[in-house]
């Protein structure tokens, strides 16, 4: 089965499931697609008791796709550039300090809180899991997923100040979370379980700040190229080349490609710069092109997340640990946001109940699953993959469906 054939099947399923959602369920696309795919996969499981042909075909497709590489090394760059391109730069600039603290210190605090709580939770279940592996889980589950957040907030109508905080944090903290995860992964792989703040900060200096600097440089080059011509076809291709070349360069020099693409997208999408570099027709074509890329990749991503059920090892203890992890992770996120929000809320006029809304609105998604798939068997991959999947499904479906009502009620 060729990769083109597999891609064809995925696009076909995405189109059919998307149609069913829009025509009948009318849920936000990210939620609807995931719900329908999970139901479809459960139906395939049930059908396999009579004929396992369809189940084997679906399993084969999933085993042929390296979800971790596909999402983190390819799809994420395009999705983050598209998201950053349409983010309000002025609001982001005003809220830059809380967003910076949320996406760095907040991720680190949450990682250690979740890791510590998970260590004692698993100990209560009689599972002997090393503390460093629990920290790995804390690192992969702490970042909020910009893909899930962006897709749902578009339909909520949240206050702009609040939307900027949630979206801005989500755009940046996934890159930071990946860096923290890789740092702890390196120590866990080498058998050294001592992870110091200096070690993490050293990697931050290279990956995080290096990625942001690369992205700003790419954004400026893209702006200069687009300003010097007036041809919307070529200008769209220039933005596409920016993402593809930038991703390759970032990976080559071990910089954070996601953060580079966020920075580049913010520069290209800056209202002041785009007014001087794009004609009205170019602006329309660039926006529509990246909206289409965003919708297509989001659709494929959430269908894949639903199908990832097939690689899970469902044991009762694992599922119960996953369910109990949900309130633990929410409490840890609340605590990690509490101090910075209280510090900044008077200076920047936060909306009421910002801590509660950002806690519930911090959805987890494909990034967490991709990182969990990157664990080795020695790191209790099957256990943490099930826990992560349970948390992600709850996050996207339950939190995603209720965050809009919460925002309207509390803000």
Alpha-carbon distance 409 to 289, whole Å?
A: 35
| 27 & 169 share domain | no
Alpha-carbon distance 334 to 357, whole Å?
A: 10
Alpha-carbon distance 207 to 215, whole Å?
A: 12
Cα–Cα nearest to 147, from 214, 192, 216, 81: 81
What pLDDT, on the 0 to 100 scale, is given for residue 217? 97
The DSSP code for 156 is T
Mean pLDDT of the chain: 89
| 372 & 387 share domain | yes
For 247-292, the pLDDT digits (tens) are 999 999 989 899 999 999 999 998 888 888 999 999 999 999 998 9
Average pLDDT over residues 144-169: 75
Alpha-carbon distance 191 to 205, whole Å?
A: 24
| 352 & 333 share domain | yes
| 58 & 74 share domain | no
| More confident of the two residues 206 and 380 | 380
Structure tokens of 7?
A: 């891609």
| 326 & 385 share domain | yes
Question: Is pLDDT at 21 greater than 90 in this prediction?
Answer: yes
| 324 & 288 share domain | yes
Q: Which domain holds residue 44?
A: 3-64
Alpha-carbon distance 124 to 386, whole Å?
A: 18
Alpha-carbon distance 116 to 191, whole Å?
A: 19
| Boundary-marking domain end, from 36, 64, 92 | 64
Structure tokens of 89?
A: 């730069």
User: CA geometry: angle at 23 spanning 17 and 27, to 5°?
Assistant: 75
- Count the Cβ atoms, other than its own, within 10 Å of residue 236: 18
Does residue 250 contact residue 260 with C-beta atoms inside 8 Å? yes
Which CATH number does the domain housing residue 213 bear? 1.20.1530.20
Question: Is pLDDT at 95 greater than 60 in this prediction?
Answer: yes
Average pLDDT over residues 297-309: 91
| 184 & 283 share domain | yes
| 51 & 95 share domain | no
pLDDT more than 70, % of the chain: 93
Structure tokens of 97?
A: 């300090």
| 260 & 401 share domain | yes
| Boundary-marking domain end, from 64, 81, 96 | 64
What pLDDT, on the 0 to 100 scale, is given for residue 200? 61
| 142 & 52 share domain | no
For 324-368, the pLDDT digits (tens) are 999 999 999 999 999 899 888 877 778 888 899 999 989 998 899
For 217-253, the pLDDT digits (tens) are 999 999 999 999 999 999 999 999 999 999 999 999 9
For 112-127, the pLDDT digits (tens) are 999 999 999 999 999 9
What pLDDT, on the 0 to 100 scale, is given for residue 403? 87
What pLDDT, on the 0 to 100 scale, is given for residue 408? 80
What pLDDT, on the 0 to 100 scale, is given for residue 155? 66
Tally of structural domains, the chain: 2
Cα–Cα nearest to 385, from 365, 396, 370: 370
Give whole-number Cα distances, 122 to 268, 325, 390, in Å.
46, 10, 16
- As a residue count, the chain comes to 411
What pLDDT, on the 0 to 100 scale, is given for residue 396? 92
What pLDDT, on the 0 to 100 scale, is given for residue 206? 82
| 53 & 77 share domain | no
Average pLDDT over residues 25-49: 91
Alpha-carbon distance 134 to 115, whole Å?
A: 5
What torsion, rounded to 10 degrees, do the Cα atoms 330, 331, 332, 337 define? 90
Question: Is pLDDT at 192 greater than 70 in this prediction?
Answer: no
DSSP 3-state of 179? helix
In the structure, what pLDDT confidence band is assigned to residue 131 with cuts at 50, 70 and 90? Answer: very high
DSSP 3-state of 174? helix
| 320 & 257 share domain | yes
What pLDDT, on the 0 to 100 scale, is given for residue 12? 96
Structure tokens of 106?
A: 């907040």
Alpha-carbon distance 380 to 365, whole Å?
A: 20
DSSP string spanning 211-274? HHHHHHHHHHHHHHHHHT---HHHHHHHHHHHHHHHHHHHHHTT--HHHHHHHHHHHHH-HHHH
pTM above 0.95, yes or no: no
Alpha-carbon distance 314 to 166, whole Å?
A: 33
Does residue 171 contact residue 262 with C-beta atoms inside 8 Å? yes
Does residue 222 contact residue 239 with C-beta atoms inside 8 Å? yes
In the structure, what pLDDT confidence band is assigned to residue 179 with cuts at 50, 70 and 90? Answer: confident
| Boundary-marking domain end, from 20, 35, 64 | 64
């Amino acid at each position: 089965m060729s990769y083109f054939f597999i891609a064809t099947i995925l696009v076909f399923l995405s189109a059919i499931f998307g149609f069913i959602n829009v025509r009948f369920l009318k849920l936000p696309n990210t939620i609807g697609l995931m719900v329908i795919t999970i139901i479809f996969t459960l139906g395939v499981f049930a059908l396999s008791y009579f004929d396992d042909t369809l189940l084997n075909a679906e399993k084969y497709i999933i085993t042929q796709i390296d979800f971790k590489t596909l999402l983190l090394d390819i799809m994420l760059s395009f999705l983050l550039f598209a998201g950053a391109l349409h983010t309000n730069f002025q609001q982001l600039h005003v809220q830059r300090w809380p967003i910076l603290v949320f996406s760095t210190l907040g991720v680190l605090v949450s990682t250690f809180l979740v890791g510590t709580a998970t260590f004692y939770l698993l100990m209560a279940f009689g599972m002997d899991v090393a503390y460093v592996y629990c920290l790995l889980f804390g690192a992969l589950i702490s970042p909020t997923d910009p893909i899930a957040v962006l897709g749902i907030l578009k339909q909520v109508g949240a206050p702009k100040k609040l939307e900027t905080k949630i979206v801005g944090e989500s755009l940046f903290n996934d890159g930071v979370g990946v860096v923290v995860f890789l740092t702890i992964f390196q120590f866990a792989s080498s058998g050294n379980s001592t992870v110091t703040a200096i070690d993490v900060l050293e990697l931050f200096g290279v990956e995080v700040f290096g990625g942001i600097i690369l992205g700003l440089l790419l954004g400026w080059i893209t702006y200069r190229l687009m300003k010097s011509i007036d041809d919307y076809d070529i200008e769209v291709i220039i933005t596409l080349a920016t993402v593809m070349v930038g991703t390759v360069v970032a990976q080559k020099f071990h910089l954070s490609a996601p953060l580079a693409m966020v920075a580049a997208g913010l520069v290209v999408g800056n209202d002041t710069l785009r007014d001087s570099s794009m004609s009205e027709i170019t602006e329309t074509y660039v926006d529509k092109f990246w909206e289409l890329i965003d919708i297509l990749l989001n659709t494929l991503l959430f269908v894949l997340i639903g199908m990832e059920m097939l690689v899970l090892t469902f044991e009762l203890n694992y599922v119960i640990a996953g369910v109990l992890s949900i309130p633990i992770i929410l409490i840890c996120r609340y605590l990690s946001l509490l101090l910075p929000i209280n510090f900044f809320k008077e200076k920047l006029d936060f909306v009421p109940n910002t801590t509660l809304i950002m806690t519930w609105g911090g959805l987890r998604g494909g990034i967490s699953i991709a990182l969990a798939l990157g664990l080795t068997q020695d790191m209790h991959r099957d256990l943490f993959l099930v826990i992560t999947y349970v948390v992600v499904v709850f996050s996207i479906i339950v939190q995603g469906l209720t965050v809009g009502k919460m925002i309207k009620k509390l803000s």
